[in-house]
A and B are shown apart, each in its own frame.
Chain A
């Protein structure tokens, strides 16, 4: 059983996960911020056994895990959380103070600082900064392309061919060219690995009715200090209709390489950005790990947002952004 080190505040949150979580338990999650000292203990995330690659094009008939993820996301519709309307303003003020300190240090005319999860939370496992296309980065791009196809079409053909077609249409010609230039053996290995990820995704990715308004790759960019500091990121998938004053969205993230704790914090970061964008965070987050088929669903709580905002402020105060 894997355990992860998590921030002190976030540790009190309940996280329902793949093999060890249950739907009933998720349904009972309170939709409001639990008073200090009354929170449920953390449910440790238990990774599912590593799945072997499945024959391409064969989808489980009932999408067992996907239905479970969908049920966990839907949860108790009567218990949707309401967040303090002042929360977004308070978080923004906190971050603005930290951003203005950075601007003071860097100077008014320094170029804008663009900060995403890679800068603020560290690179995902296997990614290399400034060293071109690592195998993990390529796999991530390919898997995310398949993720979008599964969300919108529900089916996959040959994973590598579909992913390359999707990336080619998305203008990622350099990456496609790189993959196509690989040796036959390297390409076969990549194809096999991607097929394994695709098989897990077919099981985990729910089928959303069009009325859920599923949208992939929804970019968020929040300017601070008059745009001199930009916090940005992209939701792999958002579902739900925005409603004023009520948290009504769910966000799903796809991780291809982990580590799990980093990817989970990345979702919290995106939830914070959504709070700053629309005034309310998503009420529930799901993290799907395509390498293992492991998934987890959790409610967003004010503690998550405060913890990640605190991390950002600390990063801005001490980070390598001179």
Chain B
């Protein structure tokens, strides 16, 4: 698994015709500009892969009825797991168990010392009983171990970004922002850990990453590929940076903002 995934992550990115790419990027910018203008006065809206999935799978209404967000072992595992993997890559821990333990210890220390960098997650973790904290740590260990064992980290090269979301803020409206979520970023690939079942919307979810990376890049440079990976099944989906992917991403954003569930043209 590690070899196969790593080979995909370090493979050269498919060459793209610059004029086609530029045209698609301009078209996507035009779509987004129109959306921003239409939404003026409608309140802030942040589009993430989650919203794309909800809109395309037709379950946006179901999501609206879900209880409000609350921290739990499940919702905390990614943040804690990513911190653990960062520590492992940096050589600060020898195993996911040690890395997660260190991260949980940081939470307690920051709260005890009144450190201003403590987050809501830190406050929640620090307030748990020892048994509760162990349960939270166990989920994070499983999450981190799967990611840590999935890749040959020494072969990925540098620079290496782990778990930093990137946002694109619309220049036409401060109310519209798009998020690019990837667990691991190299100069050639954005690697996304996926959950839930395999679904038709996944290419549009990953196209949003390509779109945001393209919009953030200066000079119209073509970003790396996006690779989505389901640790539950070992399956992966690969989205190369092609002009059609930009269109797919922009249309997905339009669909989210429209609150409709009409089908989006496939980039495949």
Contacts and interface: CB of A to CB of B under 8 A. Distances in A.
A89 to B, nearest CB: 13
A152 B138 contact: yes
Nearest to B235: A223
A12 B128 CA distance: 48
Interface stretch (A29-37, A157-165, A286-294): A157-165
Residue of B74, B75, B141, B235 contacting most chain A CB atoms (<10 Å) = B141
Interface string A165-187: 11111110000000000000000
Contact of B135 (A170, A214, A222, A241): A170
B132 interface: yes
A301 B24 CA distance: 53
B1 A148 contact: no
A112 B197 CA distance: 10
Interface stretch (B12-20, B39-47, B93-101, B206-214): B93-101
A99 to B, nearest CB: 14
B66 interface: no
A148 B134 contact: yes
A307 B33 CA distance: 59
B213 to A, nearest CB: 28
A213 B230 CA distance: 20
B72 A169 contact: yes
Given A165-B129, A171-B74, A213 B135 contact: no
Contacts of A131: none
A169 B139 CA distance: 11
Contacts of A227: 197-199
Contact of A166 (B1, B97, B135, B199): B135
B235 A152 contact: no
Contacts, number: 116
A320 B238 CA distance: 36
A216 B138 contact: yes
Contacts of A242: 1-2, 149
A168 B95 CA distance: 27
Contact of B134 (A152, A210, A230, A232): A152
Interface string B122-150: 00000011111111111101100110010
B5 to A, nearest CB: 11
B74 A277 contact: no
A219 B232 contact: yes
Interface in B3-35: 3-4
Nearest to A243: B2
A273 to B, nearest CB: 9
Given A213-B95, A277-B234, A170 B139 contact: yes
Contact of A244 (B1, B134, B139, B232): B1
Categorize the interface residue count of chain B: 35 or more
B94 A215 contact: no
A167 B129 CA distance: 11
Contacts of A216: 138, 141-142
Contact of B233 (A152, A161, A218, A223): A223
Nearest to A235: B142
A157 B129 CA distance: 11
A221 B135 CA distance: 22
Contact of A152 (B72, B74, B75, B141): B141
B73 interface: yes
Contacts of A272: none
B64 interface: no
A145 interface: yes
Contacts of A152: 97, 134, 137-138, 141
A219 to B, nearest CB: 5
B70 interface: yes
A217 B174 CA distance: 42
Given A165-B128, A171-B72, A221-B232, A241 B134 contact: no
Residue of A221, A230, A278 contacting most chain B CB atoms (<10 Å) = A221
Contacts of B96: 210, 213, 215
A207 to B, nearest CB: 12
Contacts of B3: 244
Nearest to A216: B138
A222 B70 CA distance: 29
Given A152-B138, A171-B72, A215-B141, 14 more contacts: A112-B197, A152-B97, A152-B141, A165-B129, A165-B132, A166-B135, A169-B132, A170-B72, A170-B135, A213-B97, A222-B233, A241-B149, A244-B3, A276-B234
21 contacts: A145-B131, A152-B134, A165-B128, A166-B134, A169-B132, A169-B136, A170-B135, A171-B73, A210-B96, A210-B97, A210-B98, A213-B95, A213-B97, A215-B96, A215-B145, A217-B139, A221-B230, A223-B235, A232-B232, A244-B3, A276-B234
Interface of B: 1-4, 70, 72-75, 94-98, 128-139, 141-142, 145-146, 149, 197-199, 230, 232-235
Interface of A: 112, 145, 148-149, 151-153, 157, 161-163, 165-171, 210-211, 213-223, 227, 230, 232, 241-242, 244, 276-279
